[in-house]
């Protein structure tokens, strides 16, 4: 998770391998994944994942 991600926001791929971000900036949205708490620094956060793939949160 990159810094400054909002809770319950759609997450997208990022230019950094293995990191997700809530900024869409020409990245791919990851359907069915959201974090449950905002983060101020790049770190691991609790997340909710749905299966099968959800349309959105």
Read off the pLDDT of residues 16-42 as tens digits, 9 standing for 90 and up. Answer: 888 888 888 768 888 888 888 887 777
- Cβ atoms of residues 6 and 38 within 8 Å: yes
* Spatial distance between the Cα atoms of 20 and 50, rounded to a whole number of angstroms: 16
Report the pLDDT value the prediction gives residue 55, as an integer from 0 to 100.
57
Phi and psi for 48 in degrees, rounded to 5? Answer: -115, 130
When pLDDT is cut at 50, 70 and 90, the band that residue 56 belongs to is: low
Question: What does the pLDDT look like over 8-17, one tens digit per residue?
Answer: 888 888 888 8
The pair of structure tokens assigned to 41 is 């620094």
Report the pLDDT value the prediction gives residue 35, as an integer from 0 to 100.
82
* Spatial distance between the Cα atoms of 14 and 24, rounded to a whole number of angstroms: 9
Report the pLDDT value the prediction gives residue 52, as an integer from 0 to 100.
63
**Going by DSSP bridges, is the β-strand pair 20-21/33-35 parallel, antiparallel, or unpaired?**
unpaired
């Amino acid at each position: 998770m990159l810094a400054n991600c909002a809770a319950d926001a759609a997450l997208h791929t990022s230019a950094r391998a293995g990191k997700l971000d809530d900024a869409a900036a020409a990245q791919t949205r990851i359907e069915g994944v959201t974090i449950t708490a905002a983060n101020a620094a790049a770190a691991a956060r609790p997340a909710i994942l749905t299966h099968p793939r959800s349309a959105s949160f």
